[in-house]
């Protein structure tokens, strides 16, 4: 049976979701294998130099003092990224006053199209304190490597019409930029909020 036009248009979104799931599962296994012998946290995070959605320089130092909820994605993402950003938004809303301690961040894996202004317009649809970060391809790669993120450009029909395959993991980092917890693609807002709350309570209990 021939596919209808509607079915054809849905195919890129279906493939994007499947790819994100497969890559995220692989990354989860990778994160588990990276734990040190003393069962400490995986080696996630590190220095980066990017540009925020106001066009200003932004490094990991700008996140110090708050917990950060970090996601790598891109604004032209057809389904996976908006779903995850909405999940993060709903979770932060559920956390109430605790959300004031958390800085949500989206780092673009598509710097060719995600200019600061594009990021700013896009993130206005989500939690009001979201920060968008972009940079040169080299800067994005350094940040992606620090967070063990996989991404690549798919076969493109033009310089402006393409998708990005990428892992879809949300990272919770502590107030000094150290890894606390990660959340896989498909985590519900309720589970995300619960996981964030418990991780922060545990971290503050050690302080």
Give the separation between CA 202 and CA 197, rounded to whole angstroms.
9
Confidence category of residue 155, pLDDT binned at 50, 70, 90:
confident
Confidence category of residue 98, pLDDT binned at 50, 70, 90:
very high
Q: What average pLDDT does the chain have? A: 85
Higher pLDDT, 55 or 153: 55
What is the SS3 string spanning the chain? CCCCHHHHHHHHHHHHHHHHHHHHHHHHHHHHHCCCCCCCCCCCCCCCEEEECCCCEEEHHHHCCCEEEEEEECCCCCCHHHHHHHHHHHHHHHHHHHHHHEEEEEEECCCCCCCHHHHHHHHCCCCCCCEEEECCHHHHHHHHHHCCCCEEECCCCCCCCCCEEECCEEEEECCCCCEEEEEECCCCHHHHHHHHHHHHHHHHHHC
13: pLDDT strictly greater than 50: no
Q: Give tens-digit pLDDT for 101-141.
A: 999 999 999 999 999 999 999 999 999 999 999 999 999 99
9: pLDDT strictly greater than 90: no
What are the chain's domains?
47-206 (3.40.30.10)
Q: Give tens-digit pLDDT for 47-82.
A: 999 999 999 999 999 999 999 999 999 999 999 999
28: left (phi over 0), alpha (psi -120 to 50) or beta: alpha
Confidence category of residue 161, pLDDT binned at 50, 70, 90:
confident
73 alpha-carbon distance from chain centroid:
6
**Average of pLDDT values for 138-162?**
88
CB 108 within 8 A of CB 82: no
Confidence category of residue 195, pLDDT binned at 50, 70, 90:
very high
Nearest 5°: phi and psi at 165?
Answer: -80, 135
Confidence category of residue 11, pLDDT binned at 50, 70, 90:
very low
pLDDT at 179: 96
Measured from the Cβ of residue 36, the count of other Cβ atoms closer than 10 Å reads 9
Confidence category of residue 4, pLDDT binned at 50, 70, 90:
very low
- 192: which 2 tokens? 């995300």
Higher pLDDT, 43 or 89: 89
Q: Shortest CA distance to 67 belongs to which of 81, 50, 38, 88?
A: 88
């Amino acid at each position: 049976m021939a596919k209808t036009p509607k079915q054809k248009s849905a195919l890129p979104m279906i493939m994007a979701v499947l790819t994100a799931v497969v890559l995220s599962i692989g990354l989860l296994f990778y994160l588990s294998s990276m734990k040190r012998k003393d069962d400490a946290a995986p080696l996630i995070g590190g220095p980066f130099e990017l540009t925020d959605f106001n066009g200003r320089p932004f490094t990991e130092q700008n996140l110090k003092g708050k917990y950060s909820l970090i996601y790598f994605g891109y604004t032209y993402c057809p389904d996976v990224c908006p779903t995850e950003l909405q999940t993060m938004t709903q979770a932060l809303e559920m956390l109430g006053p605790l959300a004031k301690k958390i800085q949500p961040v989206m780092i673009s894996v598509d710097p060719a199209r995600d200019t600061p202004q594009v990021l700013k317009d896009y993130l206005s649809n989500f939690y009001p304190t979201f920060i968008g970060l972009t940079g040169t391809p080299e800067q994005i790669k350094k940040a992606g490597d620090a967070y063990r993120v996989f991404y690549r450009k798919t076969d493109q029909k033009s310089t402006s019409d393409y998708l990005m395959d990428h892992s879809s993991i949300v990272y919770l980092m502590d107030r000094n930029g150290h890894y606390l917890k990660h959340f896989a693609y498909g985590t519900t807002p309720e589970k995300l909020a619960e996981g964030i709350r418990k991780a922060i309570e545990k971290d503050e209990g050690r302080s």
